[in-house]
Structure 1
Amino acid sequence: MSLRKIINNKTRSLRVKTGYNTKNNKNIYKRRLKQIIISIILVLMVIFIKKLDTNITKTAIELVDKTINYDMEITKVKEFTLKYTKKIIDVPKKGISVFNEDSNKEGFIIPVTGEIYKSFGKVPKSNGVEIFNKGVDIIPNRNEVLAISEGVVIEKGKDLVYGNYVKIRHGNIEAYYGGMNAIYVEIGDKVESGEKIGSINNINKTKFHFEIWEGGSPVNPMKKIEFLHDVVLT
């Protein structure tokens, strides 16, 4: 037997033992490339739909999970895709704000975050009677109550309707913060913008009442602080 035949036989034997197969390896590479491309497309889709409704994004991630499990083996590509997309759509409830923190109309910051329970103005009752809400009622989802801007505390007390409250003069307007369990400022105190002036213990249950007065009359807080209209409940 010639030297060339011996070498060829040894090479074929080695390929069989090691499982080497050029055609099979090409198929593996193609399949992995397909997995990567699909994963990238899925990530881009989730990033896009993240800006839509939260329920839609949750449905999308379930679809992503099913698609990957159906079409692919358990690979690092799948683990990376699932981990990344789940981080993207993980939108906690505290992210829903009554006020838009990025675009306040007159430089005021939000006093609390949560959901609006009653908006400013006339509120119809079940007996046909209307009452006038001088501010907005909010179901907060955080404990802290913050001063909307720098100012001076001019009044502090307890209201029969709204409970513990404090009034602060912020330049040419006055703000009423009501429904707090604890108040950390006293009459005459100067407060800074964003300073913690009180707290709410029973978040998601207690109603926080917020008013803005200008020229001796209540004005719609919506006109002073930008907020999300789609969370108004009543």
Structure 2
Amino acid sequence: MAAAAAVLRSEWTKIRTVRSTVVTLAAAFVVTVGLSALLCLLTNHNFSEATRNAETPFDATATSFGGIILGQLAVIVFGVLVMGNEYSSGMIRLSLAAVPRRGVLLAAKASVVLLLALVVGLLTSFVSFLLGQALLGSHSTTLGAPHVLRAVLGAGFYMTLLCLFSVGVTAMLRNQTLSLGILMPFFFLVSPILSAVPKVKTVARYFPDTAGRAVISVYQPADAPYGPWAGLGICALWVVAALLGGWLVLNRRDA
């Protein structure tokens, strides 16, 4: 037990003493909250125009998370750097020498990332919601309205899962540049584009970001193949698969 605690402290020290990881977490908060607030402000001033062609009721909660699309990229970068810095700096050799049980090392790293990402994710989601509703004026909602608290909590959980997914992918690829080169275009371009293409959007609905974001909407589309929590569950399955793959690669390949 003491050994596990020591590994956790070691991973915490690695993360908090590297400026890039701290900056990316801060950026996730600033970008998400800032863009969400701007979107809410613009929506309030142009409400009729913004909701003219809407097929579902106006979702004040989801609107207050409008910045999460870009904010999630900073969370992904954080997850990649936490794992990738070990390989780019050569620190992975020292880490494995100090902690020969590679599963313990990955579990400790994932646990610290989980805690940090969850705290920042929930802080980001609640601040985005409260500030967004204040800017929406008469079009706002409250935490006590049906499904709103679920959406706010879900937004924080969603950001946390994407961060862990990035850790797992980077553990598999063992290269932060390659990981960023795959994850950033996928989440910023490939997934949104495929989600809008009729012939493939059925498959794209099960991508981790598309499925996970279902939890932040109060109103679900009539043709949705799963509910909000099921969507988050699909995202969690992607995370489990990525971490399992990372563990297998870490166990079978030399540093």
- TM category (shorter chain) comes to under 0.3
Greater strand fraction, Structure 1 or Structure 2: 1
The structure having more radius of gyration, on CA atoms, is 1
Q: Which has the higher contact order (CA 8 A, sep 6+)?
A: 2
TM-score (norm 1): 0.26
Greater helix fraction, Structure 1 or Structure 2: 2
TM-score (norm 2): 0.24
